[in-house]
Amino acid sequence: MILCIQSDERARPDAASRLASEDAAEDDLTVPSSLMITISSPADLAELIDQHLGYSDWVEVTQDRVDLFAEATGDHQWIHVDVERAKDGPFGGTIAHGYLTLSLAPALLKDIIRWENIAMGVNYGLNKVRFPAPVPVGSKIRAGAKLLAAEDRGNGSVQVTIETAFEVDGKDRPACVAELLLRYTFNS
């Protein structure tokens, strides 16, 4: 396993705590936004089980993205696509579809984990999925990931279970929490 550090000015709680413990002056900090983990073999996963792997960058959820998702899925419920009506609705504006939030998992996880030496990878399914809070259109979300399990499937294949929590910037409750099942086959 290789740990790659990509630096920018957006703070991450784990990195900020570590840097603060080194008595660095907060005003002078450039805090890593992504501590990317590179996985190149099934053996790399063993030491990461039950570990938080990091956070993705923040991504804005726009009305255009929500409208495109509505077109793709046929879910045109007014709380998602009718901006004027949604102003008087329960959320004070349009919100993203829960499944839109969930569908961002592959893109957001690429900020956290780099898979190398892979012949093939597939989304195998989900265990638990919950949508505890809405994602208001115009807000920013990010994903946090924790490796729950890595099961050897033989012939260089592994099934990983990653708990993914989708956070909304400035909100206490996650918008989505899901256990993703992913299968990867490594090159020999």
Q: Mind listing the domains of the chain with CATH numbers?
A: 2-186 (3.10.129.10)
pLDDT at res. 123: 95
- Residue 95: pLDDT over 70: yes
Comparing CA positions, the residue from 127, 148, 61 lying closest to residue 98 is 61
pLDDT at res. 188: 83
Query: What predicted TM-score, i.e. pTM, was given to this entire model?
Result: 0.81
Helix and strand numbers (H, E) in the chain are 7, 9
Mean pLDDT of 118-141: 97
pLDDT at res. 182: 97
- Residue 50: pLDDT over 80: yes
Higher pLDDT, 2 or 46: 46
